[in-house]
Amino acid sequence: MNYLVFKSLHIISVVTWFAGLFYMPRLFVYFAEAENKLPAEKKILQDQFKIMQRRLWLGITWPSAIAVLIFGSSLLSNFWPITHYPWLMMKLMFVVGLYAYHLFLHKIFKQQQINKIQFSPMSLRVINEISTIFLIAIVFLVVLKNVLSMIYGLVGLFILIAILMSAIRTYKNFREQKELTVTNKKPDNNNNEDWKAKLSNEEFKILRMCGTERPFEGKYYSFFEPGIYACAGCGHELFTSETKYDSGSGWPAFYDVIDTKNVRLIEDKSLGMKRVEVRCAHCDSHLGHVFEDGPKPTGLRYCINSICLKHLNP
């Protein structure tokens, strides 16, 4: 086969390789973002993303990377000695860097295939831009065959990336303001003797020891009288009857709190799943959990134990 045939095959393999390098980090982002979904939804999404990752990475990206190496090497004999082509030497340096980036993505691929997440979605979005830098640099070198023009192109690219990253960060901050604020602080069950003297055994088990009452048996599950629902431990006002609804879950449900400052949300990894625990911000008593499957306008479902609440008439 002649030079033009090998060149055509080389270009085709480069296109498919970059297609994989561009889309693979997006799948990494989606996989990492699914970590914050409800357990059942998270498993479905992440299992599907792992399948997509394997097909893209092993079926397209890796074969294309190998093809680029084979066909690209076959073209080097037409540019010998290579020292006469400074632009080509610079291009090969970027190609080496691109293969290093490919291996870096392979490491992330292997981690996510075993459900290990090392980078946040924001970090993965930044990583996704790296292949763009390589693409711009290599194209400028090949087309213009001028190192200086390539540098000008990269400067413009870095400015564009800076603007893009700023926009991503702004959007991220805006979205986080609407999402649940979750901390990793562990429950504080100090002064248990005082609480035991104040609460019944069942109340102490649930409010202070993070227990759960039986579904469909709580006194407020099918109770919809108007009024305020306060913490049974300290009387701190938490919910209003206006946001209470029948979720069918077996426990009282609210789609909003009186004030977000009245509760604390804590990451809960007990029972082999990741949930968000709801605690009274005043006395740190356990109330229940909040899920993102509630009705509008919040889309939240505060699933609360009846025994943790005290209904106050309006």
Known catalytic residues? 303
Q: Answer for the pair 227, 238: CB distance below 8 angstroms, yes or no.
A: no
**Token pair listed for 137:** 């640099």
**Token pair listed for 226:** 């108007």
Q: CA 57, CA 45: separation in Å to the nearest integer?
A: 18
Q: CA 213, CA 207: separation in Å to the nearest integer?
A: 10
Q: CA 259, CA 248: separation in Å to the nearest integer?
A: 24
Cis omega (within 30 of 0) for bond into 121: no
Q: CA 236, CA 70: separation in Å to the nearest integer?
A: 70
Longest dimension (CA), the chain: 91
Q: Answer for the pair 276, 270: CB distance below 8 angstroms, yes or no.
A: no
